[in-house]
Amino acid sequence: HQPPPLPPPEMPPDPAAEDTPAAEPTEEITPEMTPEATGEEMPAAEPTEEAAPTIFDIAASDETFSTLATAVIAADLNETLSGEGPFTVFAPTDEAFEAALEALGISRLQLLADTETLTDILMYHVVSGAVMSGDLSDGMTAETVQGAELTFAIDGDVVTVNDVNISAVDIEASNGVIHVIDMVLLPPADEEPAAEPTEETTPEAAAEPTEEAVVEPTEDVATVDAETTIAAIAASDSNFSVVAATLPIVGFDALLAEPGPFTIFLPADEAMRAALDSMGMSVIDLLSDAETAETILSYHVVAGETLMSGDLTDGMTLETALEGGELTISITDDGVFVNDIAVVTPDVEASNGVIHVIDGVLLPPDMAADGDEEGAAAPMGLPVLLKPANQDGEGDMVTIGADEAVVLGLATGLSGEGIAPLGIDIQRGVELALEDRPTVMIGDAAFDVALDVQDDLCSADGGQAVANRFVSDESIVGVVGPMCSSACRAAAPIFDAAGYTNISPSCTAFDLTLSGYTSFNRAVTSDAFQGVLAAEFIFNELGARSIATVHDGSPYGEGLVVVMTEAFEELGGEIVAADAVSVGDTDFRGLLEDIAQEEPDLIYFGGFGAEAARLAAQRFDVGLEDVTLMGADGIRTSEFLELSASSGEGVYASAPIPASSEALDDFLTRYLETYGEEPPAAFHTNAYDATNIFLDGIEAVGTLTEDGDLAVDRMALAEYVRALAGYEGLTGLLNADGSGETSVSDIGFAIVEEGEFVSVFVGAIVDGEAVISPIEDTE
């Protein structure tokens, strides 16, 4: 939904001189605008013909407001802004938030983490009632939900609120209206509250906003090239894969992407693995111990300075990001050393600092080997002692009162084109599971089960915000979700640190179970299998020998393409073009024109339905109508069929498929009866299984207290899920492997015919080999 251009605002006449006053926007509008001042009853707003999306729906589905939507979730205001209202929201764009964060000197993560301040700021952008642009008058004031006032001004065609330009107006929602603003409004400080309106207060006498009341974007806002930050360099260079995998665990992926500057002494993989081996640890051990990982990484970072090798002097000491940690520089004829560790590649410049590659791992003194008085260095190959965090076999207890419900969280994507059908399908699978099992039984005691549903936006920011919300609620026993791999990746370290087990029904990125997270599990087949089987299908069944790949930049889309590409090339195929787009892009003609020059047999897309539908349609514009398009479970949705229309005919899509059973038939019949339609996406059965695994786990590890309360040990629940064996689910027989994997189901291949997906082949891994078989009886 793109905001409409700003129309010339209606200039309401002076209400004191008009027989019929303007419509009342809120009860807090100044006295001159109230019914009491005019003696007139305000007319009700005209209803729209069709129910519009809510204010939150609009913000969540428009990439212009991605930061706002994430902030609303973090502040737990999404349900409020999805409620009846009505509300008027002055919505800052992403660019406005970026400028505000820079002016405030804080990061996006810091703002989202400070929910008290965040809530205060967001509520200052909300006014009760639906205030359309035609309801505004020059000098008018309105009280916000936060309590302080906003002041409006009109000068010709320019409308401002607290001197902030309103750039687009009257975006109507079912529960109010949105006006777009190009700066963030900050509530006045407590010591300078807005003047309380009195009967004598007039718009002209209303207090002017202070200079601090808005944050203006400036031309010289400090920015960095996101592709060349320290975090990006570490993530993109295979020599630093161990450190790159560790950064998200402790939040350093975000920190080292900020302007800085930073100086980091970076151990390459060879040094990291040698040091870990000498400690008796594996990479997974390190990734599983966030506290130790953060201590070690912090000791390698000097914040606030870009220290090139020429800036270093013999005997120099550097204060690290680890509290109390110091590094000592020594310079000899043999080179530059930090705590006796050699700098092997100095001065790798980044947009936010510099990297010096070292051949060992630096350890603070209290972690160093016995007898090492310097106590700060772990040269490659030399033994050191690093103790993992204590594991006492017990976790935090969740206690549910005898008259309370067991609460499961559900994190799924419910907003956004191409996303919502997947999330709705997952929510329905969970709902049907709870319809079958509305209680858990602990002995003879029954406890109701409740569901806390949160929209993770199918994004990293959304996943992080929802995870933070869930772990702040001690009543949440476990979480089904998140939905998308980007959200799962961002949520995993948060759930891990808090000991909250999550089971995703749909996060398929192959590397999610390789990062050592002990809380992450999935009830769906990894793309490590789907990608391999897709390559086999493309090469041997469709006969394609040269293909072009496109992905949407998400961990899911990119990871799927990586696996498929490797398998396709091993079969003897050729990738003639490899491109990436972004979620929300709409025009792919230029990219498709470039692909057309390479004359591929097939285009393989890793991503979701909205972008796939546009690719399907726009290939006809550039002469690629005879080139097959194929995707995966992200496009196997009813929305793709609707958006692509006739251009979707002949498109292929793969997806994990459940094993045939009478239980599956009964489930699908009930799904249709309950929701009035066939499942719109592929993960309803996975969500059903994930929910039942949790319910079984709670019954298995839960105990009754003397007071009749239910006590669930979080660690025991995690261990139950990780030890799952012989579980007969709707998707098939599930067996956990200890890493978070539980499912290796078959992969189905379907083609769009007459506006429907028709199953034509099924793939499986048999004795380590990919096997594709036709489905003889298709409907």
Residue 334 neighbours by CB under 8 Å, 6+ apart: 342
The closest of 387, 417, 404, 503 to 446, measured between CA atoms, is 404
pLDDT tens-place string over residues 557-588: 888 998 899 899 999 999 999 999 988 889 99
Strands (E), 341-405: 341-350, 353-358, 360-362, 377-379, 397-400
Domain boundaries, the chain: 15-206, 226-379, 397-524+661-735, 527-650+748-774
Residue 691 neighbours by CB under 8 Å, 6+ apart: 408, 429, 430, 433, 434, 480
Average pLDDT, the chain: 81
The closest of 249, 219, 264 to 514, measured between CA atoms, is 249
Q: What is the pLDDT of residue 107?
A: 60
Whether 457 and 401 have beta carbons less than 8 Å apart is answered as no
On the question of a common fold for 15-206 and 397-524+661-735, the answer reads no
Residue 430 has pLDDT above 60, yes or no: yes
Going by CATH, does the domain composed of 527-650+748-774 fall within 3.40.50.1240?
Answer: no
Angle at 49 between CA 46 and CA 52, to 5 degrees: 95
Most confident of 70-74, 348-352, 639-643: 639-643
Q: What is the pLDDT of residue 373?
A: 36
654-665 average pLDDT score: 90
Residue 36 has pLDDT above 80, yes or no: no
Whether 605 and 550 have beta carbons less than 8 Å apart is answered as yes
The Cβ of residue 241 has, within 10 Å, a number of other Cβ atoms equal to: 16
Give the Cα separation of 238 and 92 in Å (integer): 38
- Looking at the DSSP bridge assignments, the partners of residue 318 are 327
Question: How many angstroms separate the Cα of 126 from the Cα of each of 81, 119, 714?
Answer: 10, 11, 39
Q: What is the pLDDT of residue 421?
A: 92
Q: Is 42 helix (H, G, I), strand (E, B) or coil?
A: coil
The Cβ of residue 748 has, within 10 Å, a number of other Cβ atoms equal to: 22
C-alpha torsion angle, residues 612, 618, 622, 627 (rounded to 10): 40
Q: What is the pLDDT of residue 51?
A: 53
Give 99's pLDDT tier (boundaries 50, 70, 90): confident
Question: How many angstroms separate the Cα of 186 from the Cα of each of 193, 203, 408, 679?
Answer: 12, 21, 36, 45
Give the Cα separation of 382 and 579 in Å (integer): 44
CATH of 226-379 among 2.30.180.10, 3.20.20.70, 3.10.350.10, 3.40.50.720: 2.30.180.10
Q: How far, rounded to the nearest angstrom, does the alpha carbon of residue 245 sit from its chain's CA centroid?
A: 18
Can you read off the two tokens belonging to residue 447? 């406890």
Whether 240 and 234 have beta carbons less than 8 Å apart is answered as yes
Give the Cα separation of 530 and 612 in Å (integer): 18
Whether 286 and 243 have beta carbons less than 8 Å apart is answered as no
Residue 238 has pLDDT above 80, yes or no: no
Q: What is the pLDDT of residue 108?
A: 63
pLDDT tens-place string over residues 451-479: 999 999 998 888 988 998 898 888 999 99
Give 199's pLDDT tier (boundaries 50, 70, 90): very low
The closest of 135, 341, 343, 351 to 232, measured between CA atoms, is 351
Whether this model's pTM surpasses 0.85: no
Give the Cα separation of 763 and 654 in Å (integer): 9
Q: What is the pLDDT of residue 113?
A: 57
Give the Cα separation of 498 and 469 in Å (integer): 12
Give 321's pLDDT tier (boundaries 50, 70, 90): confident
Q: Kindly report the CATH number that applies to the domain delimited by 397-524+661-735.
A: 3.40.50.2300
Give the Cα separation of 140 and 351 in Å (integer): 46
pLDDT tens-place string over residues 393-412: 345 899 999 999 999 999 99
Q: What is the pLDDT of residue 29?
A: 33
The Cβ of residue 189 has, within 10 Å, a number of other Cβ atoms equal to: 10
Going by CATH, does the domain composed of 15-206 fall within 2.30.180.10?
Answer: yes
